[in-house]
Amino acid sequence: MCRWMGYRGQPLLVEELLYKTQHSLIEQSRHAKLGVETFNGDGFGLGWYDEELDPGVYRGLLPAWGDRNLRHLAAHIRSRLFLAHVRATTGTPVQETNCHPFTHRNWLFVHNGSISDFHQVRHDLLMAVERPYFNTIEGSTDSETMFALALTFGLMDEPMPALERMAGFVEEVGHAHDIEHPLQMTLGVSDGERLWAVRYSSEGNGKTRSLWTTVDAATIRALQPKNPRLQALGDEDRVVVSEPLGGLPGMWQEVPEATALVIQDGPDGVIAFQPQPARAVSSTA
């Protein structure tokens, strides 16, 4: 089922937000409050951007709460944009290649949710993945398949339409197999510049996985009132999460269903997210 968080803003040590908050993602790996399961102990992943060209990725198959390497890494990795994810498997094996984020070139992708009856539709979905992206698939999750489909549908050129086509295609295939509500998702996606946070499910009606964002800098500062580094953050700095990391209600606003938040320089975008008919878009792999 999973929980994830994303940050974009001034460079911070990852641990500031990953560990040192009231209800951190690490804590959510064993005591989540808003998810389907209270624990998410089937692996962990962190993808982060720094001065290098492509993001760094660390994925571990142990529960996040006990991962000592992660504790060290988070205390030393300084990043301006990162995505972290704790996993609860919906059936596929526990292994690093089934942990998020998935990555291709400068892109990162995390997912909370599932494709209903994935075993029935897996074959049809994978058949639609274009050859250059097919070989990026190393695991067996629905999430990784969604990423490969998004790449196929043009993620690297026009991200939002590609994600909408991916969602549309998953629903189309699901309906062809008589699956009523094929898709359940929140997504965290980044190219190293912008951070997209998407919240959508076929069922809708308040049944979509939770997704929250900080209202403004005051929220982040409230996470650690005595932390000078967080006190220095401003309104350009934003956190998006499956469930709030702490602070008071009112400091976090829920991302509406069928909506994508685009976190970028200047005003952030809030766009309606609507599945589109799928069509492959040729792109430089």
Q: Which of 19, 23, 36, 38 binds a second copy (CB under 8 A)?
A: 38
Q: Which of 61, 222, 271, 280 binds a second copy (CB under 8 A)?
A: 61
Q: Which of 23, 80, 122, 181 binds a second copy (CB under 8 A)?
A: 122
How many Cα atoms sit within 13 Å of 169 on the Cβ side? 25
Q: What is the rounded CA–CA span in Å between residue 279 and residue 96?
A: 31
Q: Considering only 16-24, 58-66, 161-169, 254-262, which stretch makes contact with a second copy by CB under 8 A?
A: 58-66
Q: Considering only 94-102, 104-112, 156-164, 223-231, which stretch makes contact with a second copy by CB under 8 A?
A: 94-102
Q: Considering only 16-24, 74-82, 222-230, 264-272, which stretch makes contact with a second copy by CB under 8 A?
A: 74-82
Q: What is the rounded CA–CA span in Å between residue 221 and residue 21?
A: 11
Q: What is the rounded CA–CA span in Å between residue 89 and residue 32?
A: 15
- Nearest CB to a second copy, comparing residues 35 and 275: 35
Q: What is the rounded CA–CA span in Å between residue 22 and residue 25?
A: 10
DSSP type of residue 177 = T
Radius of gyration from C-alpha coordinates of the chain: 18
- Closest alpha carbon to 17 in 211, 247, 193: 247
Q: What is the rounded CA–CA span in Å between residue 40 and residue 196?
A: 23
β-pair type (44-49, 212-214): unpaired
Tell me the number of residues near a second copy by CB under 8 A: 44
Residue 2 annotated to the active site: yes
What's the min distance (Å) between Cβ of 186 and a second copy?
23
59 makes contact with a second copy (CB under 8 A): yes
Q: Report, as residue numbers or ranges, the catalytic residues.
A: 2
Judged by the rule CB under 8 A, the positions of this chain that interact with a second copy are 13, 30, 38-39, 41-42, 48, 50, 52, 56-63, 66, 68-69, 72-73, 75-77, 89, 92-97, 119, 122-123, 126-127, 131, 134-135, 137-140
